[in-house]
Amino acid sequence: MLKETSTNFCSSPFQQLIFCRLRTHQWCFMLFNVALFHILLFGADLAEEYFLQAIPTTYMDAKVLRAREKARILDMSSMKTNISQAYVLSNPEACSNREVFLLVLIFSSPQNLDRRSAIRKTWANVTHVQGYTTLVLFVLGKPSSATTQVEVIKESDQQQDLIQGIFLDTPENQTMKVKRAVEWTVTFCPKARFVFKVDEEMFANLQSLVEYLLNLRAHPEDIYLGRVIHPNVPNKEFHNGSFTSVRKHPGEYYPDYCSATALVISQDVARKIYVTSREVPPSLPPGLFMSVCARAAGVVPIHSSRFSGGRRIWYNRCCYKYIFTSTVSETRQLLREWKEMKGNEDCTLLETYYGLVSCKIMTYLDGLKESKVKAVQNEHFSN
C-alpha cells in the first residue's frame, strides 16, 4: 500500500517539478556546452577585433610628425597638369560636383570585362546608403594585348568608371597599381571621406560597410581597417605575386598589415600613404607596402572580422548581409547569390544569428578540407 502511494506521489505535478530541479546540473552542462560552442566559433575573431588589435596612432616621433604635416599641406596641382605621364585613362571629373562618402576602387585586370560587368550589376550597383554617396571606379593597368586595350577604351567611353595607369598590369606591378590609386584619390577625389580598396574577385556589402563607418565613435581619421595579418616574419622571403627580401624593409620584422584583398582607409591616411610612399620600396607586396607607408606616418591597422581576407565565406543570405567581404571567384556564382540576396526581405535578429553560425561552421569545414588537400599535395611534392 505504501509502495503504491509513493508511485502516485511521484507522478504528481509537484513531484515532476522536483524531478526537473534535481537535474539542474544537466541544464547547466548543456548551457556550458552551448557557450563553449560559441566561444570556439566566434572567440578568435572577437579576441582579434576587441582585444588584440592595435590602437590607432599609438606613437609619435619627429619623423612621424613631419610626415603628417606634409600630408596635411599636400598640394597636387602639379599632378593635375601632368596627368598623361601617369595615366592612360584618368577620369579626372569622376568626383566633381558631388560629396563622396565612400570611394570604392576595384582593382581589376584589363581583360576581365565580364567580371566588371557582373560587379556593376550586383554589389557595386549601390550609389547611396542612408543618403550618403558611394562612388565605384575600376583601377587597371595596361594590357599586353593591343586588342584588349581597344576594348578597354571602348568600355571607358561607355561606362565612364575606369582609371588606367601607364604600367603593365602584371602580378609584379600590383603595388604600382596601389600607388597610382592612392595618387589618383588625393589628386582628383580629395574630399572623399573614406576609400575602399577591393579586388575584383570579392563580393562586397557596401550598405553594411557604410553603416559601420557612419557609426564609428571616434573621429574618422587615421582609419586603416581590414582583416589584419600578423606576419612576424624576420629574415625570410615574403610571397604575394613576387618575392621580396625582408632586408629591403627597414625594420627587424614585417609590421602587421591589412589583407590587400579588401581594406578601408580614411582620406587623411591616403594622403599620408602618398607622402611616405616615396621612401618605401615598391617591391613589397601591396598589403605590406600600404602598412609600411601608413606606419611611417603613425597609423597602424585596425582589425575587423567582418572582412574575409582572401577566404571564401560559405554563402548564407543573412550572413552575407552582415559581413563586409567574401571571395566569390566565379562570375555566375556572384550573379546567382546577389539575385537571392536582393530577392528576399531583411533578416531578423534570429535569422542573422543562424546565418552567421551556419556560414561560420561551413567556412571552417571548407578550411579543414582545403588544408587536408594542401597537406596531401605538399607530401606528394616532397616525395
> CB burial class (10 A; 0-12, 13-18, 19+) of residue 106?
buried
Q: What's the mean pLDDT when you consider all of the chain? A: 81
What CA–CA distance (Å, rounded) separates 234 from 10?
70
Residue whose C-alpha is closest to residue 267's, from 321, 311, 213: 213
What CA–CA distance (Å, rounded) separates 243 from 173?
12
Mean pLDDT of 13-22: 48
**101: Cα within 13 Å, side-chain hemisphere:** 17
pLDDT in the model for residue 356? 81
Is residue 5 over pLDDT 60? Answer: no
What CA–CA distance (Å, rounded) separates 330 from 383?
33
In tens, the pLDDT along 208-239 reads 999 999 988 666 799 999 999 987 654 344 44
Mean pLDDT of 259-281: 96
Structure-block grid coordinates of residue 189: 577625389
pTM of the model: 0.81
What CA–CA distance (Å, rounded) separates 297 from 69?
10
Is residue 269 over pLDDT 50? Answer: yes
Name the DSSP class of 342.
H
Name the DSSP class of 207.
H
What CA–CA distance (Å, rounded) separates 280 from 196?
22
> CB burial class (10 A; 0-12, 13-18, 19+) of residue 311?
middle
Block residue for cell numbers 543562424: 354
Mean pLDDT of 338-356: 82
Greatest CA separation for the chain: 107
- Determine what percent of the chain is predicted with pLDDT higher than 70: 73
> CB burial class (10 A; 0-12, 13-18, 19+) of residue 223?
buried
What CA–CA distance (Å, rounded) separates 95 from 116?
20
Is residue 379 over pLDDT 70? Answer: no
Q: How many angstroms separate the first and last alpha carbons of the chain?
A: 79
Residue whose C-alpha is closest to residue 303's, from 54, 44, 19, 24: 54
Mean pLDDT of 263-273: 97
Of residues 359 and 185, the one with the higher pLDDT is 185
Phi and psi angles of residue 203, each rounded to the nearest 5 degrees, phi first: -95, 140
Helix H or strand E encompassing 98: none
In tens, the pLDDT along 118-172 reads 999 999 999 999 999 999 999 999 999 999 999 999 999 999 999 999 999 999 9
Report the sign of the C-alpha dihedral through residues 56, 226, 279, 184, in that order: negative
Of residues 76 and 366, the one with the higher pLDDT is 76
Structure-block grid coordinates of residue 202: 570579392
Contact between 167 and 239 (Cβ < 8 Å): no
Is residue 300 over pLDDT 80? Answer: yes
Q: Which domains does the chain have, with CATH numbers?
A: 46-237+245-367 (3.90.550.50)
Is residue 115 over pLDDT 70? Answer: yes
- pLDDT tier, 354 (very low <50, low <70, confident <90, very high otherwise): confident
Is residue 271 over pLDDT 90? Answer: yes
Contact between 112 and 203 (Cβ < 8 Å): no
247 CB contacts (<8 Å, ≥6 apart)? 235
pLDDT in the model for residue 114? 97
